[in-house]
Each structure stands twice: as C-alpha cells, then as structure tokens.
C-alpha cells in the first residue's frame, strides 16, 4: 500500500507567528539577518555568509548580471540562469566578477565612419548621450574619440555626416589609465570639469567610463557581499546534463557557488553531477542541489555532498507542475519537514547544511514565516522579476506598468533539461507559464522595505537574529474563518490596497 502523509499539504498563508517577549534592545536597528549559504562544520564559519537571506531565482526572466550586481550590493545573491549557452552564462558571471562600482562598460559604441544617424538611433534606443567611438565599434575597442550631445546640432547637420568629422577626438580627451581608483577618477572629473572620463589600458583600448552623474551614487553599501578580492559574490545555475563542460567554464569565470537547477532533486542525476564536482574539485567548488520536499530527499542530497539543499516543488507563482503532473507539496509542510531533517542531521554529524525555501513567497510576511520555519535563505522569482534590474521588458498593459515574467518550464524558456528525467525531448511538456507581474521600481527601495518588515516582525517575536528566530518562533495554524479576520473587514475601504 502507498504511504499516506497524515497532515495535509500546507502553505505559508495558513500560519501566523505568535509574539514573544520584546525587550528594550529588541529593535530593528539591532537585528541581524546574516545567514549561512553553504554547509559548515560545528564551531566553524561557513565559506559564504549572506547579509540578507535572499537569493534571486535561476531564471531567464530574473537573474542576469545586472540583477546579480544589484542584489550583491544589498547583501544577497543571484544565481545566473543556466538555460543559455555555457559561453553566455560564463560571460554573465565574469561581468559580475569584473564589475567595479562606478566603472561602467560603455553601452553605446560606434566606429568612426558611422554617421550621425547611427548616433541618433543609438540614443533613441538606449537613452545614453555619451557614445564611445572605437576602431572596431565595440565597448573595448581602441578608443578614437567620444560623441556627446555637445558635439552635434541635429537642426544644422546632415544626418549622413560621418562620426569622425564631429566627434571629440582622442587628442582632445582627458583619459585615465586602467589602475585608476574611483576616488582618483572622480578627482580628475572635478579638476577638468568633465562629464565622463574614459579609462583606457596600455594599448589604448577603452575599458570603462566613469561618469560625473554617478558620483553621488557611490555611497557605501553597508550590506554588500564581496569575495577576498573585493569583487561581488555571484552564483550560477547548472544542470545534470552538460556539467562536464558548464562547471569548469563557470568556475573559470569566477562563480562563487553553483546550484543544480532542477524541478525535482531526489534523483541519480543530481548525485552524478555532485560526484563529478567532488571528484574534480573536492570541496573547493560549492554547489547546492534540489528541489526536494521531504526528509528522504534532503538526506539523499546531504549524503551526496550538497552544500545547501533547496526545498519546493510546485509552489512557484509561474509553476503548473502540480496541475500537470500531480507532484509537489505545500511549501510550508515541505519546509518544516526538511528543516527538521537538517537539524537532526546536524545533531548527528556536526554538519550544518543550509536549507533554501524556493518559490511561492508572495507577501513579505511569508518571508518571515519561512525563516521562522527553518529556511536559512529564500529563493524568489516573482519578487525580483518586478524590479528595474530584472532582464525583461517593462510594458504598459491596461494602463499599468508591468514586467514580463516566465517560468523555466514554459514554452518561452524551453529549459527542458530542468525537467529532464532521461526521456525524449520532443515529448517535453510545459510546467510553467508566461506572464506579467506588476512593475515595482528599483530593487533597493523594495528590498529595504521587505527587510525592515522582517526585522520588525522579528522584534515582535523577541529575537534579533535568524538562528534565534528558528529556535524561539511560535507558530499557529489559522482556521479559514480567522483568515477573514486577519484582513481589514466590516469597514468600507476608501482605497483599494495590496499587501506586499
């Protein structure tokens, strides 16, 4: 006879936190959200610690290099999506690792024999008014000049005028060498009253621009996470098919941690992938695995050598796995069981394997609940897809701004290997949808608010760090009737409100 779980599959909205004693010191300013990303032995420190417990999902519509830089600045981590060529993924990782705050790779570039029409078209397309003129028209080609809006007058010039005839040539430009620090660059900008300063290498090739307008943005990001070379931390998704080529390329590009991206992780394919990494790199390459939803799955991946284990099947906002296959588990039930298995494993072995709650987090209070239920960090797709930094288009639909957001298992992403169980790819079927999410502005502003809400709730629970939250949180199931009581009720609302 099949095994039946006694408890129904429950999700976050079915739980509430019960307050604990709040002392004078228990204020949001004293709350730390530091959390381990990868496994560690009792008494030791994890190789990577996050300053906020957030990871952006391994998805085309969520995690590219722009998102990774923005999230690392805030103290979280992105996992660059693996459903792209090995070269493209490695290039994204290396752009994060080579990113220097305030040093911008030129986004608009032309060759000297292009025309004013090309400049106008570029400006229309990406909005930048500074265009680099390089010999080969690339961002890192040999610099021959710059075109800014001061160099041309559209009303007086023929649009077929060649760029080399009106650009500010290199001989009239102030440039700085590759080892210039941000402070030095800003001093040069001020001394020479420049709007932009090209940074060029010894061969005269353009490396970056430093812009005057960015100066005020270089405030310290107190939570940013950096590696020992002061570069931002970044993760990358891998799959259980092409790991023999993808893993070395990502390691070479500088990825700090990898994650096997699969809808279901309790499989021989994940073990084979982990075995390959351990035999080739020992413990020097950190790699998470998943997704699982129970103790058996957790123990399998723990024994197979995973550095963290990801929990969740079917809870993602764009996910239709439960509808198409009847597989999955309510995210709260899955997380509670896996977190308990992690604690038991730690008791027995002295090895702490962080657990990531992946998918289905809709409201900020869900985040606090997931952390209280034992998640070490949270992976989110929909949450991050709404921000300026996500890779997708911002559109107006029915008069409101939205961003596109699609599942890795949708026809749009065609990431069939995520769902691969060794079958025929021509028979692949969709497990995700293509959708819009409400546009929400910059990541920083939103994350700051979410973090503050989590910290405030932790203070209500009487704790100032995540380990204490896990240990001391008191949680109760709610009845369907009390859920109605939880929102505003029996009043006439003056404005409609959303709860994020």
The residues that are catalytic are 319, 418
Residue closer to ligand IMP, measured from CB, 146 or 382: 382
Minimum distance, C-beta of residue 362 to ligand IMP, in the bound complex (Å): 7
> Counting contacts by CB under 6 A, is residue 83 touching ligand IMP?
no
Report the alpha-carbon distance of residue 32 to residue 127 in Å, rounded: 39
Minimum distance, C-beta of residue 319 to ligand IMP, in the bound complex (Å): 3
Number of residues that bind ligand IMP (CB under 6 A): 24
Q: What is the 3-state secondary structure (H, E, C) of 392-438?
A: CCEEEECCEEEEEEECCCCCCCCCHHHHCCCCCHHHCCCCECEEEEE
> Counting contacts by CB under 6 A, is residue 380 touching ligand IMP?
yes
Residue (of 10, 11, 54, 29) closest to 458 by Cα position: 29
Report the alpha-carbon distance of residue 34 to residue 394 in Å, rounded: 32
Which of 381, 389, 450, 469 contacts ligand IMP by CB under 6 A?
381
Q: Which sign does the torsion angle of CA 78, 79, 83, 84 carry?
A: positive
**Near ligand IMP in 405-424, by CB under 6 A:** 407-410
Report the alpha-carbon distance of residue 122 to residue 105 in Å, rounded: 16
Which of 80, 431, 455, 458 contacts ligand IMP by CB under 6 A?
431
Minimum distance, C-beta of residue 324 to ligand IMP, in the bound complex (Å): 9
> Counting contacts by CB under 6 A, is residue 61 touching ligand IMP?
no
Report the alpha-carbon distance of residue 417 to residue 437 in Å, rounded: 25
Q: Which long-range contacts (CB under 8 A, 24 or more apart) does 169-173 make?
A: 169/144, 169/145, 170/143, 170/144, 170/145, 170/204, 173/143, 173/145, 173/146, 173/198
Minimum distance, C-beta of residue 356 to ligand IMP, in the bound complex (Å): 9
Q: How far is CA 320 from CA 2, 125, 315, 316, 391, in A?
A: 24, 36, 9, 8, 23
Cis peptide leading into 291, omega within 30 of 0?
A: yes
Residue closer to ligand IMP, measured from CB, 299 or 311: 311
Residues 458-497, one symbol each (x = binds ligand IMP by CB under 6 A, - = not), give ----------------------------------------
Minimum distance, C-beta of residue 392 to ligand IMP, in the bound complex (Å): 13
Query: Which two three-digit tokens encode residue 213?
Result: 């307008």
**Near ligand IMP in 217-276, by CB under 6 A:** 263
Q: How far is CA 266 from CA 229, 313, 315, 462, in A?
A: 36, 11, 17, 37
Which of 95, 342, 382, 386 contacts ligand IMP by CB under 6 A?
382
The residue number whose beta carbon is nearest to ligand IMP equals 432
Which of 104, 234, 287, 379 contacts ligand IMP by CB under 6 A?
379
Minimum distance, C-beta of residue 387 to ligand IMP, in the bound complex (Å): 13
Residue closer to ligand IMP, measured from CB, 163 or 306: 306
Residue (of 48, 83, 79) closest to 286 by Cα position: 48
Minimum distance, C-beta of residue 375 to ligand IMP, in the bound complex (Å): 13
Which of 273, 321, 390, 435 contacts ligand IMP by CB under 6 A?
321
Report the alpha-carbon distance of residue 446 to residue 454 in Å, rounded: 13
Report the alpha-carbon distance of residue 457 to residue 118 in Å, rounded: 54
Other C-beta atoms closer than 10 Å to the C-beta of 366 total: 21
- Options 65-73, 129-137, 379-387, 486-494: segment touching ligand IMP (CB under 6 A): 379-387
- Options 144-152, 310-318, 395-403, 480-488: segment touching ligand IMP (CB under 6 A): 310-318
- Options 300-308, 344-352, 353-361, 478-486: segment touching ligand IMP (CB under 6 A): 353-361
Which of 57, 143, 311, 461 contacts ligand IMP by CB under 6 A?
57
| Neighbouring residues of 477: CB distance < 8 A, sequence distance ≥ 6 | 10, 14, 15
* Site for ligand IMP, rule CB under 6 A: 57, 59, 263, 312, 316-319, 321, 358-361, 379-383, 407-410, 431-432
């Amino acid at each position: 006879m099949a095994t039946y779980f006694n408890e129904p599959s429950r999700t976050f909205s079915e739980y509430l936190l019960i307050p604990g004693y709040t002392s004078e010191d228990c204020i949001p300013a004293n709350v730390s959200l530091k959390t381990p990303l990868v496994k560690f032995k009792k008494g030791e420190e994890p190789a990577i610690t996050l300053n906020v417990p957030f990871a952006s999902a391994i998805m085309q519509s969520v995690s590219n290099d722009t998102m990774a830089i923005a999230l690392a600045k805030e103290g979280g981590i992105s996992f660059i999506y693996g459903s792209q060529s090995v070269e493209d993924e490695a290039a994204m990782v290396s752009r994060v690792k080579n990113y220097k705050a305030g040093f911008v790779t030129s986004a608009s570039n032309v060759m000297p024999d292009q025309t004013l029409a090309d400049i106008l078209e570029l400006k229309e397309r990406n909005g930048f008014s500074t265009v680099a003129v390089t010999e080969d028209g690339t961002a890192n080609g040999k610099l021959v000049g710059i075109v800014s809006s001061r160099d041309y007058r559209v009303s007086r010039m023929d649009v077929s005028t060649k760029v080399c005839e009106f650009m500010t040539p290199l001989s009239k430009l102030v440039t700085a060498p590759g080892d210039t620090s941000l402070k030095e660059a800003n001093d040069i900008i001020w001394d020479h009253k420049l709007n932009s300063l090209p940074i060029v290498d010894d061969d005269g090739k353009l490396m970056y621009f430093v812009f005057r307008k960015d100066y005020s943005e270089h405030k310290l990001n107190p939570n940013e996470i950096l590696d020992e070379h002061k570069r931002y931390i970044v993760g990358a998704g891998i799959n259980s098919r092409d790991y023999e080529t993808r893993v070395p390329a990502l390691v070479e590009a500088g990825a700090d941690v990898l994650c096997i991206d699969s809808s279901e992780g309790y499989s021989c394919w994940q073990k084979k992938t982990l075995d390959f990494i351990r035999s080739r790199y020992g413990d020097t390459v950190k790699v998470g695995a998943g997704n699982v939803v129970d103790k058996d799955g957790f123990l399998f991946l723990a024994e197979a050598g995973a550095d963290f284990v990801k929990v969740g099947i079917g809870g993602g906002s764009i996910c239709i796995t439960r509808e198409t296959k009847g597989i999955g588990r309510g995210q709260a039930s899955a997380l509670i069981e896996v977190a308990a298995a992690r604690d038991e494993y730690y008791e027995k072995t002295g090895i702490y394997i962080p657990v990531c709650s992946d998918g289905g987090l809709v409201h900020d209070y869900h985040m606090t609940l997931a952390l209280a239920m034992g998640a070490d960090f949270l992976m989110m797709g929909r949450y991050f897809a709404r921000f300026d930094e996500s890779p997708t288009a911002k559109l107006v639909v029915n008069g409101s701004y939205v961003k596109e957001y699609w599942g890795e298992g949708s026809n749009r992403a065609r990431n069939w290997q995520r769902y691969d169980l060794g079958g025929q790819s021509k028979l692949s079927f969709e497990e995700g949808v293509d959708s819009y999410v409400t546009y929400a502005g910059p990541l920083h502003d939103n994350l700051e608010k979410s973090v503050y809400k989590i910290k405030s709730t932790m203070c209500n629970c009487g704790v100032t760090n995540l380990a204490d939250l896990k240990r001391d949180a008191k949680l109760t199931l709610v009845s369907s009737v009390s859920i109605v009581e939880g929102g505003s009720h029996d009043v006439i609302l003056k404005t409609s409100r959303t709860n994020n």
